[in-house]
Amino acid sequence: MTPRETIVITGASDGIGAAAARALAPDHDVVLVGRSPEKTAAVARELGVPHHVADFAELAQVRDLAATLLAEYPRIDVLANNAGGIMGDRQVTVDGFEKTFQVNHLAQFLLTDLLIDRLTESNARVIQSASVAAKQWGRLDLDDLQNEKGYSPEKAYGDAKLANILFTRELQKRYGDRGITAASFHPGIVGTNFASDTTHVMRFAYHTPVIKNLVTISPSKGADTLVWLATSTPGSDWEPGGYFAKRKPATSSRQSTDMALAERLWDISAELVGR
C-alpha cells in the first residue's frame, strides 16, 4: 500500500488554501499553516488535521515554523507556498522589509530554503501561488526591491508575484537534479478574503457583491490547479519549473522567463534573509 503523502499548505486558514486542504485531506496527510490562530484552528478541526500558526510579516516566526515542521514531519512531499496578499499604504516589517515583498516572497523563500534538505530527501513538489498580477503590474528593479520609489500597492504586489514565478524557475534549476520539482500557478480571480486587510481599492472591488458574483470564481475552483499540481505527475502531466493556469501552461511577463534575473533575485533574497 502506497503511504499517504504529507502536504504542507501555507495561507490555509481560508480561501484557496483552505479549499485545497478540503480537497486533499481525504487521501493525504495535510498540514495547515495560517496567520490567524482562530481561523486556522477552525479549518483544522473541520478536517481533523494538524495546524501551525505563523505570521509571515515576521521572519522569526517563519524560522520557528520551519524548525517545527522539521521536528514533526519526517517527510514533506508537497510544500504549497500559498500565503500572501496585497497591502495598502507602504509598510515596513519588523525585519526592515516592505511588507508585500516580505509576506509574498521573502518569507516563502526563507521557509523553502530552511526546509530544502527535507524537501530534497522527499523528492518534493514545491508549488507557488503566483498571479496574473505579475504580468499586469510587475516590473522588478533589483536595485529597488523594497519599492521605495513610486510605491503603489498593485506595483508591489505584481513585483512579489513576479518574484514567485522567478523563484520557482530558479528553484527548479538549482534543485531539480536533487529531486525537487517546482511549479507556480495563477488561481484566477477568486472570491475570497483577499485584500480584506487593506485600504486599497481592490478591497472594495473584491468585496462588492456585484463584482464578487459576476467576476470572481469560488475558492474551490481557484484551488483546482494547486490540487492538480500537488497530485499529478511532474514531467508527465506538467513541466517542472513552469507557470500554469487552469491546468495548462500559461505566459506571464517577459521578465518572468529571464533566468539571469531569477538567479540574481535568488542571491539577493538569500542575502536579505541571511542564508
String of DSSP letters for the chain: -PPPPEEEESS-SSHHHHHHHHHHTTTSEEEEEES-HHHHHHHHHHHT--EEE--TTSHHHHHHHHHHHHHH-S--SEEEE------SS--B-TTSSBHHHIIIIIHHHHHHHHTHHHHHHTT-EEEEE--THHHHT----TT-TT--SS--HHHHHHHHHHHHHHHHHHHHHHHGGGT-EEEEEE--SB-SSTTTT--SHHHHHHTSHHHHHHT-B-HHHHTHHHHHHHHS-BTTTB-TT-EEETTEE----GGGG-HHHHHHHHHHHHHHTT-
Angle at CA 36, nearest 5°, toward 215 and 81? 65
Range 105-131 average pLDDT: 98
State yes or no: pLDDT of 66 exceeds 50: yes
With bands split at pLDDT 50, 70 and 90, how would you rate the model's confidence at 197? low
Whole-number pLDDT of residue 188: 77
Report CA-CA distances (Å) from 191 to 6, 103, 185, 203. 27, 20, 17, 11
Whole-number pLDDT of residue 214: 43
Report pLDDT digits (tens) over 153-169: 999 999 999 999 999 99
With bands split at pLDDT 50, 70 and 90, how would you rate the model's confidence at 189? confident
Q: Cα(134)–Cα(132) distance, rounded to whole angstroms?
A: 5
State yes or no: pLDDT of 138 exceeds 70: yes
The pTM (predicted TM-score) of the whole model is: 0.90
Q: Cα(219)–Cα(42) distance, rounded to whole angstroms?
A: 17
State yes or no: pLDDT of 200 exceeds 90: no
Whole-number pLDDT of residue 211: 45
Closest C-alpha among 53, 170, 40, 36 to residue 112: 170
State yes or no: pLDDT of 143 exceeds 50: yes
Catalytic choice (151, 157, 206, 243): 157
Widest distance between CA atoms in the chain? 56
Report pLDDT digits (tens) over 212-253: 444 456 888 889 999 999 999 999 999 999 999 999 999 999
Q: Is 206 a catalytic residue?
A: no
Range 130-151 average pLDDT: 93
Percentage with pLDDT > 90 across the chain: 83
